[in-house]
Amino acid sequence: MRGSPLQFLASCLLLAVTSAALAGSKMPQQVLDLHYGEVLFHFYQQDYFTAITHLMAAQQQELLEHHKKDSDLLLGGMQLSYGMLDEAEGRFRRLLDQQSDKQIRNRIWYYLTKIAYQRGLYQKAYSTLHEIDSPRDEVVRAETAILGANIRMALGKDSEAAETLGESSAPDGWEEYLRINRGIALLRAGDVAGGKAVLDSLGKQEVDSEELWSLRDRANLGLGYQLLRAGDPEQARHYLNRVRLRGPFSQAALLGAGWSDAERGQYQEALTPWLSLIELASYEPPVQEAHLAVPYAFASLGDYERAVQFGNQAIGFYDQEQTEIETAITSVESGVLLSLLSQARTGVSGGWLKDNPTLEDIPAGRYLVDVLSGHDFQERLKDYRDLSYLEELLSKRLENINVYRDMVEARRQAYEERAPAIHSRVEKQEAQSVSAAWQQLGQQLKNLEASDDPLGLATTAEIQQWQRLLRVQETVATLPDTQRHQRMLQRSKWLQGVLYWNIQTDYKARLWEAKKQLASLESAVVEAKNIQQRLSQALDAAPAGFSGYDERIETLRKRILALISRIQLERIDASSILQQLALQELQTRKERLASYRSQARYALARSYDELSRNAETQP
């Protein structure tokens, strides 16, 4: 059937948004949490493991304020897909207590029903199925109808299953699946005419895709064999003729066509499809049975020589096939199959040979192909590969533990090397000294302004000139009082006056510039104090970057080792189950071949007896 639980989750989320909008609720109609958007990105990329881990991490950190219920529904669906049935069921039942929206409740009940069905709890599944109340979404409604039909047929309620499917409507792409399931349910319920009518219409339908062609072939094949069992070989031949000769059901159709002819006594006509089957280089059950049917047809025609010829050919064929099956069994028992599984890519899709081309080089690998393609085996194989992926992921995390430890050690070493020098600088309180000097300058400027003394803002050169003139005057004062010395004294005082005039003239401008520069230093002084404070806080907080991490890292390392040990044990169990499934399937094939071989030997003996009688009766 098209789709998967994960693919339908997307429509479920859209359904939740739409129903909320129609109901006028406050549920968000767009992604409002960044982490939820990231989870959806991985989800739609079909990277479900990353989506699950990121979603669980975001929930634990309470980062999904606007999408709590949506995230629980999404997580439950992904857990269901991974086979985590207990966790998924528990989560869905908790959601039922919290969720009032009808459509979302329907989807949750659908998942609970599917969990019970997968566990084989058909009566429980039947009960929870009735909790689903007329889903509005056509896809959900069709999917529910098919699940309900499977549950009813598992309980023997075939008539009820057919009635339910007959009342169900389907969107584009689902109608054919509803019809074929309804036809099968009618046949199982004993309504041969009704089942025939449904499957007949499906078998004649014009189709335009390989998927629908296969569905049409399956309908014709099932109807043909049902009519054979019902004793209507002529009608059976009619439907078997509709099956494509190049489709996946061609061999079974040819075999059935031959038996429909044989049932009507037309053994010569029956030989046409049967002989074409035994010419195929195939090991499928229809070919194996055809090797038994051909000598039967010749014997029925009285051609015992050819019956003996093809009987011997059949026994040789069965002997060869049995040898290959035994080789396949030996290969599985020797661990070849598990070796293949270990080399296989994670997340296989599209068939085993596509992902493992080397399978054709393995002894009796063609039998392993059929074993590996079985549904039960594929389900177990998925579990095995998930475990392998988890083990690989945890092994990489274990390798990273040493990296984390080195990072912590590097931080600790850097702190121990640099902290003493930084502590020494911090203890000197250099920023406070700078601040005190700045405040002192401010006070000096205020005092200068209050005293109105222009010389306080004189430049260094002007102060030097002023002091030089004072020394000149002091020196002249010690000299004899002559006219020449008087002129020198007057000259120095005149220069002193000029210098004072110049300083006084620029005093206002210099005072304004000094205030401006002092104000501009304030932000730098404040920033220096803030830097010193942050530096002190950083020194106190730095040990938190490495202190205590050794214990946490070691605890994490032990936890990872414990998980790897558990996974390895689970892998051993899973591989054992896979091996048992493979051996069971191969043993079933071996027993079928042994049965065919015994029948062929018995038929051959009868043909020899008939040849002997004919030889005795001839003159």
* Average pLDDT across the chain, whole number: 80
Q: Using the structure block, give the residue that is written with the tokens 């010569």.
A: 268
Distance between CA atoms of residues 311 and 600, nearest Å: 6
The pLDDT of residue 333:
84
Q: Which residue has the higher pLDDT, 607 or 534?
A: 607
* Spatial contact of 294 and 265, defined as CB atoms under 8 Å apart: no
Write phi, then psi, for 403 (nearest 5 degrees): -65, -45
User: Is the CB of residue 40 less than 8 Å from the CB of residue 12?
Assistant: no
The listed range with the strongest mean pLDDT (72-81, 363-372, 375-384) is 72-81
Residue that the structure tokens 């920023």 belong to: 431
Residues above pLDDT 70, as percent of the chain: 88
Does residue 17 have a pLDDT over 60?
no
C-alpha 288/C-alpha 370 separation (Å) is: 15
Torsion of CA 67, 70, 71, 77, to 10 degrees: -170
The residue ranking higher by pLDDT, 366 or 351, is 366
**Separation in Å, CA 399 to CA 243, 404, 410, 556:** 57, 9, 18, 12
What is the C-alpha separation between 432 and 364, in angstroms, rounded?
Answer: 87
Distance separating alpha carbons of residues 278 and 273, to the nearest angstrom: 9
Least confident of 88-92, 136-140, 389-393, 558-562: 136-140
Q: What's the pLDDT score for residue 341?
A: 66
pLDDT at 259 over 90: yes
pLDDT value of position 364: 61
User: Model confidence over 93-130: pLDDT tens digits?
Assistant: 888 776 667 777 888 888 888 888 877 888 988 888 88
What value does the mean pLDDT take over residues 149-174?
81
Spatial contact of 316 and 596, defined as CB atoms under 8 Å apart? no
Give exposure, 31-42, as e/b (b: 16+ Cβ within 10 Å): bebebbebbbeb
Q: Which of 411, 427, 337, 412 is nearest to 381 (CA)?
A: 337
Position 99 scores a pLDDT of 64
pLDDT tier, 319 (very low <50, low <70, confident <90, very high otherwise)? very high
For residues 104 and 16, the answer to whether their CB atoms sit within 8 Å is yes
- Per-residue pLDDT of 509-537, as tens digits, reads 887 887 788 788 878 878 877 887 777 77
CA distance 85 to 93: 12
Residue 589 burial by CB count (10 A; 0-12/13-18/19+): exposed, middle or buried? buried
Question: Which residue pairs from 493-501 have beta carbons closer than 8 angstroms and sit at least 24 positions apart in sequence?
Answer: 495/469, 496/466, 496/469, 496/470, 499/462, 499/465, 499/466, 499/469, 500/454, 500/455, 500/466
Evaluate if residue 312 carries a pLDDT over 90.
yes
Q: What's the CA gap between 380 and 77, in Å, rounded?
A: 19
| Residue 261, pLDDT above cutoff 80 | yes
593/599 Cα distance (integer angstroms): 10
Please report the pLDDT score of residue 599 as a whole number.
Answer: 93
Tokens standing for residue 75: 């997580």
Res 24: pLDDT: 32
Query: Domain residue spans in the chain?
Result: 219-280, 427-549
Burial of 186 (0-12, 13-18, 19+ CB in 10 A): buried
pLDDT tens per residue, range 540-569:
777 777 777 888 888 888 999 999 999 989
Q: How far is Cα 277 from Cα 258, in angstroms, rounded to an integer?
A: 10
For residues 243-266, give the mean pLDDT. Answer: 90
pLDDT greater at residue 554 or residue 360: 554
Tell whether the model's pLDDT for residue 353 goes beyond 50: no
d(CA 102, CA 108): 10
Show the tokens assigned to 172.
């584009």
At 428, is the pLDDT very low, low, confident or very high (cuts 50, 70, 90)?
low
- Summarised one tens digit per residue, pLDDT across range 270-297 is 999 999 999 987 778 899 999 999 999 9
Judge whether 277 and 585 are in contact, CB under 8 Å: no
Q: What percent of the chain has pLDDT over 90?
A: 14
- Averaged over 24-42, what is the pLDDT? 72
Pair 220, 242: CB distance under 8 Å: yes
Whole-prediction pTM: 0.64
Quick check: 73 and 107 in contact, CB under 8 A?
yes
> Which pLDDT score is estimated for 178?
76
Contact 586, 329 (CB under 8 A): yes
**How confident is residue 21, by pLDDT bands cut at 50, 70 and 90?**
very low
Q: How many residues does the chain have?
A: 619
Query: What Rg do the C-alpha atoms of the chain give, in angstroms?
Result: 46
- Tens digit of each residue's pLDDT (9 = 90 or more) over 130-157: 888 877 777 777 888 888 888 888 888 8
**C-alpha to C-alpha distance for 111 and 147, rounded to whole angstroms:** 10
Residues 6+ apart with CB under 8 A from 168: 141, 142, 145, 178
Burial class of residue 184 (count of CB atoms within 10 Å of its CB; 0-12, 13-18, 19+): buried
Using an 8 Å Cβ cutoff, are 199 and 220 in contact? yes
Model confidence at 22: pLDDT above 60: no
578: buried, middle or exposed (CB in 10 Å: 19+, 13-18, 0-12)?
buried
pLDDT at 216: 81
Across the range 230-237, mean pLDDT stands at 89
Cα(306)–Cα(310) distance, rounded to whole angstroms? 6
Residue 128: how many CA atoms within 13 Å on its side-chain side?
24
Q: Right CATH number for 219-280 from 1.25.40, 3.30.1330, 3.40.1340, 1.10.287? A: 1.25.40
For the segment 377-403, the average pLDDT, to the nearest whole number, is 84
Distances (CA, A) of 505 to 225, 238, 518: 123, 125, 22
Q: What is the mean pLDDT of residues 35-61?
A: 88
List, as one string, the DSSP characters of 18-80: HHHHHHT----SS---HHHHHHHHHHHTT-HHHHHHHHHHHHHTT--TT-HHHHHHHHHHHHH
The residue type of 455 is: L
CA distance between the termini of the chain: 66
Tokens, residue 155 = 């309980």
User: 323-358: string of b/e by CB count within 10 Å (b at 16+)?
Assistant: ebbeebbebbeeebbbebbeebeeebeeebeebbee
Q: Which residue has the higher pLDDT, 593 or 200?
A: 593
What confidence score (pLDDT) does residue 260 get?
A: 93
pLDDT digits over 485-512, tens only? 888 888 888 988 888 888 888 878 887 8
**Encoding tokens for residue 459?**
């430049």
